[in-house]
Amino acid sequence: MQEEESELAEIQEVVDVVTTAKIITEVVTTASDTNTAASTTITAANVLISAAISAAASTLTAAPSRRRKRVVIRDPKETTTTSKIIHSKANSKDKGKGILVEEPKPLKKQAQIKQDEAYARELETEAQARKNMMIYLRNVAAFKMDYFKGMTYDDILPIFEKHFDSNVAFLQKTKEHMDEEDSRALKRLNESVIP
């Protein structure tokens, strides 16, 4: 008789907790990227089983896995605030170890022109000068590129200067010669017009 009364008292206790308290269960799910918290209400039929289990402990935890869930049963009289959905920032996987590389923005037309002009004004490096001299000698003096293999800038410079100076001298003579021809032609015209 006392056993029946104690069982009835336990069942009555569980029913009273379920019906009067309107148990609120908070389910927290933790994933790798986001943390969300949601609250749900459980009906009396569902709670009878869980209330009997949770009488011993107020927190149930699932087996450790990738997703962890826990159920917390609270009395609404104890908690005055409403439960909220909480979104946390996504955690970065590289944790600052990577290097942030920003893609360069395309320059506007005027800025691009200024940059090109500045690049054109830069001094020519020795390697660029060597290459330009070899190309000049190949095109003007009919040198083969194999001739210059293994030669340094200082080895190519005298050959280049010799051919370049002779071409400049020829052009100067040609210009002087053309000026002389122009002056002779003007004299002839002046003599033929004036009798």
Task: Give tens-digit pLDDT for 56-108.
Answer: 444 445 455 566 677 767 776 665 555 566 665 555 565 666 666 677 777 77
- The pLDDT, as a whole number, for residue 113 is 84
- The pLDDT, as a whole number, for residue 189 is 82
- The pLDDT, as a whole number, for residue 96 is 61
**pLDDT confidence band for 24 (50 / 70 / 90):** very low
Using one digit for the tens of pLDDT, what is the confidence trace for 25-45? 444 444 344 444 444 444 444
How many other C-beta atoms lie within 10 A of the C-beta of residue 124? 10
| Candidate from 14-23, 73-82, 92-101, 117-126 with smallest mean pLDDT | 14-23
Q: Measuring CA to CA, how many Å separate 180 from each of 31, 95, 186, 188, 193? A: 93, 80, 10, 12, 20
Q: How far apart are CA 88 and CA 33, in angstroms?
A: 9
Give the residue from 22, 42, 35 showing the smallest Cα distance to 69: 35
Q: How far apart are CA 50 and CA 33, in angstroms?
A: 30
Q: Which residue type sits at 40?
A: T
β partners of residue 173: none
How many other C-beta atoms lie within 10 A of the C-beta of residue 47? 22
**pLDDT confidence band for 54 (50 / 70 / 90):** low
Using one digit for the tens of pLDDT, what is the confidence trace for 128-179? 888 888 888 888 888 888 888 888 888 888 998 988 888 888 888 888 888 8
The better pLDDT of the pair 127, 31 is held by: 127
